[in-house]
Chains A and B, each alone.
Chain A
Amino acid sequence: MTTLRHLTAAGALTLLMGSTALAAPPGDTLVVGLSADITTFEPANISSRDNANIARHIFGTLYSISGDGSVSPDMAENLEISEDGLKYVYTLRQGLTCHDGEALTAEDAAYTFNRAKDPANGFTGNTPGFVFSSVGFESAEALDDRRLQITIGRKNPIAFGLLAEVYVHCKDSYEKMSLDDAASNPIGSGPYKLASWTKGSEVVLEKVGEPARMNKIIWRIIPEASTRSAELIAGNVDIITNVAPDQINAVNASGNAKVQAVQGTRRMYVGFNLSDAFKAMPGGDAIQDPNVRRALQYAVDVPTICKQLLNFECVRATGIVNPPNANKSLEPYPYDPAMAEKLLDEAGWPRAADGTRFTIRFQAGRGRYLNDQNVVLAVAQYLEEVGLKVEVDIMEWASVYVPLIRKRDVGPLFFLGSGGALWSPLYDMTDLARVESGTNYTHWNDPRWFDRWADIANAKTPEEQRVIIDEMLKVFYDDGPWLHMYFQPDFYGVSERVDFVARPDEKVYLFATGLK
C-alpha cells in the first residue's frame, strides 16, 4: 500500500512539474508550426519550401526578393551585367561575416557557387538542380575581395532573380567539414544561427545579427493540420502554415488567432497532353483542336470551386503568369456551359444518343495540393455536364504520379500546380521555355509561343519585351494547353500577439516579425 501511495504521489508530482511545459512562448521568441519535416541544412541540398524558409534565416543571399516581387540588395550592393548577358559581376557589401567569425569575401561567395556545382559532392537541391540548370551556370570567381563574377552559359532574362536564391556561406568552415557534418551544422551568413535541431521535432534559431527582431525562432514540425490549429489556438505557437480550409472558422473564432488568406503564386491548372502518344487515346484526339480546349474553358466554374472547396474567393487565372504581371487586356473565362456546348458542337463533337460527346481520362495526384482530390472530382463533374465522359484516375502523389509527370506521360487531362513568382512574368513563362522543356508536360508546340522567345531575348527595351510577352500570353489564353484554374491560396494562422504579414510566394521570412 505504501508503494502504491508513493507511486501516486510521484505521478501527481510529475504532472505538476510537467505542467510548466504548457507555458506560452516567451516574449523574445517566435514559435512557428510547419507541416513538413526538415531534412538538411546543407545549403546546396535544400529544396523543399519549409526547409528553405528556415535556411534563409541562416544564410544570406546576394539579393532579396520581397513579398510584392520587388528586388533589393542583400549581401551585394551592386550588380553589373556584361553586354552579352553572360557575366554577372556583384559587388559585396563591406563588413560581411560568417557565423564562425570569419570575414565573408568574394572568394567565399565564389566558393559557394562552385561547391554547389561540383559533381563530386552530388548535390541535388534547388541551387544545382534548378537555379544552375535554368541559367546554365558555368563558374564563379572572385575578381577581388568584394567583386564576384558569375558566368552563365546562355543569356537568360531571369538569371538575376534565380541567382538570388543561392545561399552564401564561408569557404574555410565548409572546406573543413565533411558533407555529413555540413548537412547538420550549418555555418551561415544570415542574421540567425542554428542553435539546435531535433530531427522530426523542432529547429531552434538564435539571433546573431541584423535584420532580426526576435532573439529566438523555434520552428516546430507539426504534420497534422488539426494539431497545428489546436497549438495555435492554445497559444503555444505564434504562426502556423497550411491551415486546413475547414479549420479557418475555428481559428478565427478562437479569439487568440486569425487566419491570413493570401492568393499564392502557385498556378493550378488542368493540362491537356497533346503528345502523339495521347492523341491516340480516347479524348486525346479531341483536345488537339484549340476550339475544343477553348470550349472546355467555359465549362468549369472556377470561382465556385475556390469558394466551396478552398474556402477562398479567387479570381480565375487568365494564363500562366501571376496577376500583377499578366496580360491586363485578358478577362478570365466566365462559367458558361451553354457556350461550352455550342463551341463543342461547332468543333465537331456533338452529343451522341447517350448524351456523351467523347470519353477522356483525367489523371491527378492525391494529397499534394489544397483539397486536390475534391477539386479534380469537381472539374470532372463540370466537364461531364457539357457531355464529356470523364474517367478520373487519382493516384498516390510521390511514388506514382510524380514519375509519370516527370516523364511527361500523364493525361490526356491532368491536374497540376506549378510554383510561380511575382518578380518577373518570364519566370512564370519559362515553364514553357522550349517544346522539349521538362516542365512542358503538355507537349504543346505552338510556334506563336515558342518562336517568340528569341524575340524576347533580342528586345531592346522593357516596353518592347512587354509587348511580346502580352502577345504570347494572348496566344496562351486563346489556344494554350492549360485549362485555367486558380492561383492556390495559402492560409496562415497568426497569433494575435505577433505582427506577421503573410506573403503570396509561400516564403515565411520572419526578420521583421515581432510582438505587437
Chain B
Amino acid sequence: MWTFIARRLLQSVVVILGVTLISFIALQIGGDPTYLFVSERATEEEIAMVRAALGFDNPLHIQYLTYLGNIAQGEFGNSLSYRQPAMEIVLGALPATIELTIFAMTFAITLAVPLGVFAALYRGTPVDGGIMTMAMFGQSVPGFWLGIMMILFFGLALRILPISGHVPFLLPLLQGEFSKAFQNLPNSLYYLIMPGIAAGFYSLSRNARLVRSSMLEVLSQDYVRTARSKGLTERAVVIHHALRNAWLPVITMIGLEFGFLLGGVVVIETVFSYPGIGRLVFNAINQRDIPVVQAAVVVLSVIFISLNLIVDLVYARIDPRVKL
C-alpha cells in the first residue's frame, strides 16, 4: 500500500505541474492583463511602468518558471486586486466552501442511500416511480434556477430561511476561536440550508439512481438469495449483505463529487452571496488576478488528488477484491 501511495504522490506532482501550466496558459490567452490595472487615460510610459510593477514585462516562460520557483518555496505572490498574499486569500475563502460542500454532501448522501434502496426494493411500484421522477428532476434543473426558486419560496414567500449570506463556523474554529465558532454554529447551519440543498440536489439525484441500480444488481446475486434462504430478515439481508456491496460505486462517486463541489459551486455561491472559493476564483479570472487563480488551482488540485487517493484507499479497505 505504501508503494501505491508513494507512486500516487509522485504522479500528483506531475498533475499539479500540468494544471498550473494549463491555467497559466489559459490566463495568458486573453492578452496582456496590464490593461485591467491602468486607467483608460494612462500613457504608454505609465502602462509600461505598471506592467513592470506587476511582473508582466518578462517573457511568458520566464514568468512561468519564476512562478514555479516561487511556489516551490511556498510563495504564491500577492493578489493583484486585494494586494495581499494570494494564498492567504484563497485559504480564507476555502473554509466557507468546505462548510457548504460538507453540508451538501451530507444532505445528498443521507437521502440518496435510503431513497435508492427503497426504489430498488419497490422496483416498478409508484414508490420507485416517484423517487426516480424526483431524481430525474434533480439532474435536469440547473442549480441556479433551483436556488432562485428556493429563495422565492422559502426566503420571500414563507420567510423562514435567510435569502443570502454566510455565518462562518470553520474559519473561527481553525483560528482557535472556539467560543465564537460554536456561538456561530446555529446561524451557520441556518444559512447553509438553502445553498446546501441547492448545491447537493444534483448529487442526491445522481446517487439515488446509482444506489438503486447498484442495489438491483446486488439483490439478484446468489449470495443474497443464500442469505434469504438462511432465514435472515429482509432488513438484515438489505443492510448487511446487499447494501455493503452496493456502496462501492457510490463511494467512488462521493469522492469525485466532493472535489467537484469544492471547485464547482460558483453559481450557487453567487446566487446565495456565499463568500466561498468558487466565487473568489470566478472574480479573480474576470479581473485576471493571476496569483489568486494560480493559488486556488494548486489548492483545489491538491484537495482533489487527495480525495481521489482517499477514495482508492477506502475502496481497497471495503472491497477485498481490490489490491493496491
Contacts and interface: CB of A to CB of B under 8 A. Distances in A.
Which of A122, A124, A133 neighbours the largest number of chain B CB atoms within 10 Å of its CB? A124
Contacts of A407: 35
Contacts of B166: 201
A184 B83 CA distance: 9
Interface string A317-360: 00000000000000000000000000000000000000000000
Contact of A439 (B40, B148, B163): B40
B187 A17 contact: yes
A21 B166 CA distance: 11
A475 interface: no
Contacts of A124: 37-38, 50, 53
Contacts of B93: 199-200
Interface string A271-292: 0000000000000000000000
B83 A40 contact: yes
Contact of B84 (A14, A21, A183, A439): A183
B269 to A, nearest CB: 9
Contacts of A200: 93, 275-276, 279-280
Which of A13, A183, A418 neighbours the largest number of chain B CB atoms within 10 Å of its CB? A183
A37 B280 CA distance: 9
A399 B287 CA distance: 8
A222 B273 contact: yes
B162 A21 contact: yes
Contacts of A122: 50, 53-54
Nearest to A51: B81
Contact of A398 (B50, B85, B191, B286): B286
B212 interface: no
Given A224-B270, A234-B156, A402-B35, A130 B41 contact: yes
Contacts of B185: 14
B83 A18 contact: no
A133 B43 contact: yes
Given A134-B41, A220-B165, A14 B190 contact: yes
Interface residues of B, number: 61
A201 B273 contact: yes
A133 B286 CA distance: 25
Contact of B271 (A119, A224, A399): A224
A52 to B, nearest CB: 13
Given A21-B190, A398-B287, A438-B40, A184 B273 contact: no
B268 to A, nearest CB: 10
B159 interface: yes
Contacts of B285: 399
B42 interface: yes
Given A39-B82, A180-B83, A406-B40, A234 B155 contact: yes
B49 to A, nearest CB: 7
A21 B151 contact: no
B227 interface: no
A18 B162 CA distance: 9
Contacts of A129: 37-39, 42, 46, 50
A22 B160 CA distance: 8
Contacts of B187: 17-18, 20-21
A3 interface: no
Which of B38, B40, B78, B280 neighbours the largest number of chain A CB atoms within 10 Å of its CB? B40
Nearest to A182: B83
B311 interface: no
Nearest to B32: A403
A199 B30 contact: no
Contacts of A439: 40-41
A437 interface: yes
Interface string A212-236: 0000000011111011001101101
B163 A201 contact: no
Interface string A407-418: 100000000001
B248 interface: no
B272 A15 contact: no
Contacts of B288: 398-399
A223 B278 CA distance: 13
5 contacts: A18-B162, A45-B83, A220-B164, A399-B286, A438-B43
Ranked nearest first, the 10 interchain pairs of A and B with the lowest CB-CB distance are A18-B190, A200-B275, A399-B30, A403-B31, A129-B39, A406-B35, A130-B39, A17-B186, A122-B53, A39-B81
Interface of B: 29-32, 35-43, 46, 49-50, 53-54, 78-79, 81-85, 89, 92-93, 148, 151-152, 155-156, 159-160, 162-168, 185-187, 189-191, 270-273, 275-276, 279-280, 283, 285-288
Given A183-B83, A200-B275, A223-B273, 20 more contacts: A17-B190, A18-B190, A20-B187, A21-B187, A42-B83, A133-B39, A133-B42, A179-B83, A183-B84, A202-B165, A220-B273, A221-B275, A224-B272, A227-B164, A227-B271, A234-B156, A396-B30, A398-B36, A398-B288, A438-B42
